[in-house]
Structure 1
């Protein structure tokens, strides 16, 4: 049956090359469209190194401080402060781990006595950062909890920085490095981090306890420049963690006088925090899903209608052939099944072509499609893309093509034999 179907498809490709080519191309473009959307979404939301725990993590990126409870609009927004982290988040009992990071921005990194300086981002962290985010170490290891508590100036750098400063990954371990003219010691070298990893991305990592500004704690100060990541044992614990956070916020609000701290619904899961790009700007997640879902459906309706018309044209040209088959005893169901099988093979051919086109589009339009929230361009790697993505896209188009082929096939199969032989539909 399969061999017969493939032979029939090859015959149709030779006999009707233009219509068959348009059918395959239409399927390929639809597949490519869905693939690009799903691949980019997968890259932004899936668990992959170093952010392997996205699915069971909660995030607090922003806070809102009302300066006068009698005037709710007298408020300011910022990143959370270290005081807030120590009062509310570090004491949490439910999570597996809590880490606090501080974005120190671009810094000058160099080796003592060297002429070359590297302008690179610095992320200041605590020791639990290395538990929540799983980096691939090329050499060395991260700084420990004891190192963090003592404020020892150790640093982890990425491969590109190590090679630029020391010429080799292994040569960097134990060597001095100057970060903004302050002496640190390199304790580990990790693989370069993808820009889509918003919370783990940097090129140099050091304990925030080694930096006077990042480690500053002022009682009652809620506004700062820190980000908090909470790792749950399971996503089932999210609500329990949120309730525990709410109790902590309520407790410190009793100490703030006329001021009031608000977390605006945080901690957020990973997908929700993607839509909270700014403190006072938040897009409803359900509304976003509906918007993009409707957009995809509308876009896919166009090739569906076109493919239906093409299939109808192909069926008209095959009326005589199908009429002869009916006269020799083929049932209406067998004729419909034959057409659907042929369409299935064409869909598979279009699917493979669409897979190639999707990666071509990602390569040619990477500056647009792979742009991160802050304008930088990320890179794609195999760990971002699951084979499930392709099969989901293929199933979308398979259903699309079967629906577009069924009605014309059914009409042709139910055409009387005499009309079929006379090519009258």
Structure 2
């Protein structure tokens, strides 16, 4: 039976090539965009270089001071002191990487300006993250304590500043009129890999801001590394207990919020959260609404095309009904035909997605970004095709089942 449905579906698709082209284009184009966006989201959420320990890492990115009565809110990153003094009390933590927010520094080579994204870090930063060092090594606690002007740079910065030099360890790079001795070169990191993305890393003791300030707000975030995945939830509860006892340090504020979140939750909280609200419900609502609206237009178009096809096939449907074909059989046939159409469009969408991802990766628009289609993305893509086929086929199939036999035969 399915074999016959498949043959009929192919014959119908070949009969009206223009409608088939419009349908396949709409399906494949929609799926291509969805798969590219999914690949991008997967690249952000899934463990990726150098953040390979994400399954046992917790991220402290946001510090929020509130006046609950008046509704005043101050949101910022944390100070170095806040992270070391309070987050540093977490007993179950193995290490804690601390890094500043990225700041722009200017370097000049042959009268050409190079903008360098600079970060100040502690020594544990290099143990929590798994950077690949083609040259040299990271700075250590002793160099940080002595405020040595040493730097780790990424490969793209090495090329921009030093050109074709095979080895730059021991050479000096000048940024914002300050000379740093290069002690290591790391493989480029994608800009989506926060908080590990930068072009140049230097000891936090060289920061222009006062890292010894005892205020809560500052320019730093932290990654707390648990000893095992079983300790992740325990660390979150431990940190919640610690922060509940921290005074706001500001007379105008009566509540302090700081969370140790998983990577994805930290992104959602920064974008949509506030206070005790994680923002996850709002995120799901916005994503669901965006997907629904994005899918609505091509679905409506496909439904209209399918209804047109049914009207053209009214005589065929009338003959089949006259010879005893039930409405249920005809509905099944049309839905299967529509699913076959959407799967064909889905296969084209996969091919287009591979090409689009290749172009994005090769373009170098985002340094260090490498998007791929994995089995998870392919699974969701095929699932989308099936849902697309069902949703866009149900109403036209119902219209077909209600078609009057006499009127259909007269249309012949």
Shorter-chain TM-score tier: 0.7 to 0.9
Aligned residue number for residue 264 of structure 2: 271
Distance 1:404 1:387, change over 3 A: same
SS in 2 for 1:400: helix
Cα drift, residue 422 of structure 1:
4.1
Q: Which runs of 5 or more residues in structure 1 are unaligned?
A: 367-376
How do 1:51-200 and structure 2 match up within 5 A?
A: 51-54=51-54, 56-64=56-64, 77-103=75-101, 105-109=103-107, 118-168=114-164, 170-200=166-196
Aligned residue number for residue 381 of structure 2: 393
Alpha-carbon distance in 2 for matches of 1:405, 1:356 = 24
Q: Verify the 8 A CA contact 1:60 1:228 in the aligned structure 2.
A: yes
Cα drift, residue 352 of structure 1:
3.4
Alpha-carbon distance in 1 for matches of 2:345, 2:72 = 58
Aligned residue number for residue 14 of structure 1: 14
Alpha-carbon distance in 2 for matches of 1:330, 1:70 = 68
Distance 1:285 1:310, change over 3 A: same
Return the TM-score normalized by structure 1: 0.77
Distance 1:379 1:297, change over 3 A: farther
How do 1:305-320 and structure 2 match up within 5 A?
A: 305-320=300-315
Instruction: Supply the RMSD in Å over aligned alpha carbons.
Output: 4.2
Instruction: State the Cα deviation string for residues 304-357 of structure 1 (Å, max 9, x = none).
Output: 333223223212322443455567776655544433332222112222344466
Distance 1:314 1:238, change over 3 A: same
Cα drift, residue 100 of structure 1:
0.9
- Determine which of 282, 292, 299 is the counterpart of 1:287: 282
Cα drift, residue 49 of structure 1:
1.8
Q: Verify the 8 A CA contact 1:99 1:229 in the aligned structure 2.
A: yes
Instruction: State the Cα deviation string for residues 276-296 of structure 1 (Å, max 9, x = none).
Output: 259989882312321331232
For this pair of structures, how many residues does the alignment match? Answer: 407
Q: Which runs of 5 or more residues in structure 2 are unaligned?
A: none
Instruction: State the Cα deviation string for residues 180-203 of structure 1 (Å, max 9, x = none).
Output: 444433232222222222311110
Cα drift, residue 235 of structure 1:
5.9
Cα drift, residue 116 of structure 1:
6.5
Q: Verify the 8 A CA contact 2:98 2:121 in the aligned structure 1.
A: yes
Alpha-carbon distance in 1 for matches of 2:54, 2:89 = 22
Distance 1:74 1:333, change over 3 A: closer
Cα drift, residue 88 of structure 1:
1.1
Cα drift, residue 38 of structure 1:
2.9
Distance 1:412 1:38, change over 3 A: same
Alpha-carbon distance in 2 for matches of 1:41, 1:105 = 25
